[in-house]
Amino acid sequence: MHRRMIGVMFVCLCVFQIPLLAQDFKLFDRNIQIHGFATQGFVHTNDNNWLTMYTSNFGSGEFSDFGANASTQITDKFRIGAQLYDRNLGGIGRWYPSLDWAFAQYKFKPWFGIRGGRVKTVVGLYNDTQDLDFLHPFALLPQSMYSIDVRDSTIAHDGGDLFGDIRLGSKYGSLSYTAYAGHRSNSPHGGVAYLINSDGLVFKSLAGLQYGGDLRWQTPLKGLLIGASRLNQLNTNSYVYNSPGGPIPINSSDNADWINQFYGEYTWKKLLVDAEFRRSWDDTGTPGVNESQINVHAWYVAGAYRIIKRMQVGSYYSSYWVSFPIPNLVPAGTGHDYDKVVTGRIDINRYFNLKIEGHFIDGYGYPAVSPIGFYMINNPQGLKPNTNALVVKGGFNF
Amino acid sequence: MKNATKYLKIFIATASLVPLMVGAANAGNVKIIANPSVKADSISSAELRSVFLEESSSLRDGSHVEPVVSKGGGAHSAFVRDYLGKTDSDLQNYYRTLVFTGKGAMPKTLSSDEEIAAYVAKTRGAIGYVSSEMSAEGVKTLAILGMENDGSRKLITRVEPVYPSTLRTNHIGGTVRLKVTIAPNGGVEAVELMGGNPVLGDAAAAAIRRWVYAPAPSKTVNEVTIPFDPNR
């Protein structure tokens, strides 16, 4: 119902060109800004069902999200704000709204500030902006790194950040840093919960301490940015096994999960090129009891070119490789996901955009353990090694 | 046939000039305007960048400022390109990233130079940019300061000052500090001694008047220091 409403609204707004302007009003003598966004997508695949949608017949339009935020500047250095986010992606999200971010920020100096509350976690180029479709040329960011179904594993923490920008002079560019620590939790409507529930278990929680940092250098070479991120997580996983004899609660604690990510971005006139490498390590099970590790190597190279003011074309190659105690005889396609992508984006005006994208995917990761868009429950007939997908997505923001 | 070739040549030559003419028309010159409540009379290019990228909301003298941006136009394109090092779409994405991650606000955005000038005139702390040809009332125009070596105005031709022989033989030296106003075309418009020996200052000023900088969209003011060492 919500999806239909958003779809109808979107079409009306596009067709009739109703100007949407950000709301800026006064409350208790403070300027309050209201902004929002929404997207509606459609995905068709030739074989496997993808991203928890049933995409392989006609296709699926269960691919929507929206967000809205309010913020105000209390003093020169102090601001507060919050954003709600809601989505429906096949079996994920299901229109349960979440508090995306809500924090207070105090900037003592350009080179030092603090923020506290629920804060988006900075990892790599796009972790904190991966939901903001209108910022990116692609309908789907490289799934090897920004897997849309398990976004909540890294998306935000309840805690604090230290941050700042340090100018090094025209000869040396500038440095931006973020250091953070807090508690994070997976959504009960996210991909990990979906996987656990599809195994006949009942997901309760997956949460724990998250801490790390990001350092990025805007080099003196105009348009070139390079950086590195580190994220650490300690997780406790709780779920229930409904045995014939009654429900059995199961708890497990991970030793230490981590992500190392290195990235670079270069913009020159109408050209954008970026690349990232991520190595992640995920302990599963209980230390000393049923411990095992998931070792992921992921990288991508992407390029986009704005051919005219309102049109951009782009392409990327995304590689995901997972190592796990996999049985010797495994079907082709297991353990990797190599995605070749071409895209076209049209900016209808300042507020609306439309993207058309083709994915040519070799492999499906290791769906039973480390999901990357493919789930056995959506593919009971078994997964085929290759998937071609067409993604059409429209969005607006104000 | 001969005429046809001649006209074709003229057409090609004219057509090849069109992009240059359009580029020149679009580039425009920019001036920075501020509400009279802003105490500063000048702003450095680094401060401009910092303020318009929302890294800072005050100038070095403590003046509170709030940036006002334009939706488009020649002055906007020149300002965004020359002072922020971005394209318009890059800048929009930059602001949207701030807004939708909660780290900043969308600056006041207006459609024309006239609207910007009117808003800046009535809004305490407002700072914006308009075409340098526009006469705006009720606002102050800020000189754009660029330090000698910060890359904001590249020095193309440098003439060394002549050390006055009387001072050199009497071992009188020191460093002089001068404020140099540079025209958009790169020529030195004015030199003012800010500190140091006045005789050495005159010698330095005479040389600096012959310096040539890289062209820029608007007039800028650089601070230049020149040492005079009698032992060299």
Model confidence band, residue A4 (pLDDT cutoffs 50, 70, 90):
low
pLDDT, greater one: A226 or B3: A226
pLDDT reading at B16 higher than 50:
no
Nearest to A132 among B46, B55, B96 (CB): B96
Bridge partners (DSSP) of residue A183 are A158, A209
> By the CB < 8 Å criterion, does B57 face chain A?
yes
Mean pLDDT, residues A147-162? 95
Half-sphere exposure of A9 (CA within 13 A, CB side): 17
Q: At what angle do helices B88-101 and B74-83 cross, to 10 degrees?
A: 70
Interface test with B, best of A100, A132, A172, A311 (most B CBs within 10 A): A132
Q: How many domains does chain A have?
A: 1
pLDDT reading at A9 higher than 80:
no
Mean pLDDT, residues A172-196? 94
> By the CB < 8 Å criterion, does B89 face chain A?
yes
pLDDT at B176: 82
pLDDT reading at A74 higher than 80:
yes
| Inter-chain residue contact A110 with B50, CB threshold 8 Å | yes
Return the domain boundaries, chain B. 27-145, 148-228
Residues 6+ apart with CB under 8 A from A71: A32, A33, A79, A80, A81, A82, B99, B102, B105
Within 8 A of A35 by CB-CB distance, chain B residues are 99-100, 106
pLDDT at A219: 95
- Percent of chain B at pLDDT > 90 equals 34
Q: What is the pLDDT of residues B170-218, one digit of tens each?
A: 888 887 888 888 888 889 999 988 878 899 999 999 999 999 988 887 7
pLDDT reading at A134 higher than 50:
yes
Smallest Cα–Cα separation from B100: which of A165, A30, A129, A88? A129
The CATH number for A145's domain is 2.40.160.10
Token duo for residue B100: 């939708």
Spatial separation of the C-alpha atoms in residues A310 and A337, rounded to whole Å: 32
pLDDT at B99: 94
Interface test with B, best of A133, A170, A177 (most B CBs within 10 A): A170
pLDDT at B173: 84
Model confidence band, residue A16 (pLDDT cutoffs 50, 70, 90):
very low
Q: What is the DSSP letter of A19?
A: P
Spatial separation of the C-alpha atoms in residues B139 and B119, rounded to whole Å: 10
pLDDT, greater one: A101 or B175: A101
> By the CB < 8 Å criterion, does B151 face chain A?
yes
> By the CB < 8 Å criterion, does A99 face chain B?
no
Nearest to B97 among A33, A73, A129 (CB): A129
Q: How many CB atoms lie within 10 A of CB A99?
A: 13
Smallest Cα–Cα separation from B90: which of B103, B75, B77? B77
Q: What is the pLDDT of residues A187-237, one digit of tens each?
A: 999 999 999 898 888 999 899 999 999 999 999 998 999 999 999 999 888
Mean pLDDT, residues A250-254? 81
| Inter-chain residue contact B102 with A101, CB threshold 8 Å | yes
pLDDT, greater one: B141 or B150: B141
Q: What is the pLDDT of residues B68-127, one digit of tens each?
A: 999 888 889 889 988 888 888 889 999 999 999 999 999 999 999 999 999 999 999 999
Torsion angles phi and psi, residue A230, rounded to 5:
-135, 135
Domain of A163?
A: 2-397
Interface test with A, best of B100, B111, B149 (most A CBs within 10 A): B100
**Closest chain B CA to residue A224:** B85
Within 8 A of B92 by CB-CB distance, chain A residues are 350
Smallest Cα–Cα separation from A65: which of A91, A92, A40, A102? A40
Residues 6+ apart with CB under 8 A from B22: none
Within 8 A of A76 by CB-CB distance, chain B residues are 57-58, 64
Angle at alpha carbon of residue A327, lines to A205 and A335, rounded to 5°: 65
pLDDT reading at A44 higher than 70:
yes
pLDDT at B7: 52
Q: How far is CA A222 from the centre of its chain?
A: 28
pLDDT at B221: 81
> By the CB < 8 Å criterion, does A101 face chain B?
yes
Biggest CA-to-CA distance, chain A: 71
| Inter-chain residue contact A67 with B100, CB threshold 8 Å | yes
**Domain B148-228 falls under CATH 1.10.10.10:** no
**Closest chain B CA to residue A111:** B55
Structural contact between residues B136 and B117, judged by C-beta atoms closer than 8 angstroms: yes
Mean pLDDT of chain B: 81
Mean pLDDT, residues A153-181? 93
Within 8 A of B90 by CB-CB distance, chain A residues are 267
Model confidence band, residue B2 (pLDDT cutoffs 50, 70, 90):
low
pLDDT reading at A255 higher than 80:
no
Give this complex's ipTM.
Answer: 0.88
| Inter-chain residue contact A135 with B93, CB threshold 8 Å | yes
Interface test with B, best of A26, A35, A130 (most B CBs within 10 A): A35
| Residue A382 region by backbone torsions, left for phi larger than 0, else alpha for psi between -120 and 50, else beta | left
pLDDT at B15: 40
pLDDT, greater one: A378 or A254: A378
Q: Which of residues 254-313 of A touch B (CB under 8 A)?
A: 267, 269-270, 306
Q: What is the pLDDT of residues A282-330, one digit of tens each?
A: 877 666 666 678 889 999 999 999 999 899 999 999 999 988 666 555 6
Mean pLDDT of chain A: 90
Token duo for residue B9: 């040549």
Token duo for residue A290: 């049923």
Spatial separation of the C-alpha atoms in residues A163 and A396, rounded to whole Å: 30
> By the CB < 8 Å criterion, does B64 face chain A?
yes
| Inter-chain residue contact B106 with A35, CB threshold 8 Å | yes
pLDDT reading at A138 higher than 90:
yes
Token duo for residue A131: 């939901």
In CATH, which of 3.40.190.10, 2.30.29.30, 3.40.50.920, 3.30.365.10 is domain B27-145? 3.40.190.10
pLDDT, greater one: A54 or B16: A54
pLDDT at A118: 97
Spatial separation of the C-alpha atoms in residues A238 and A225, rounded to whole Å: 40
pLDDT at B128: 95
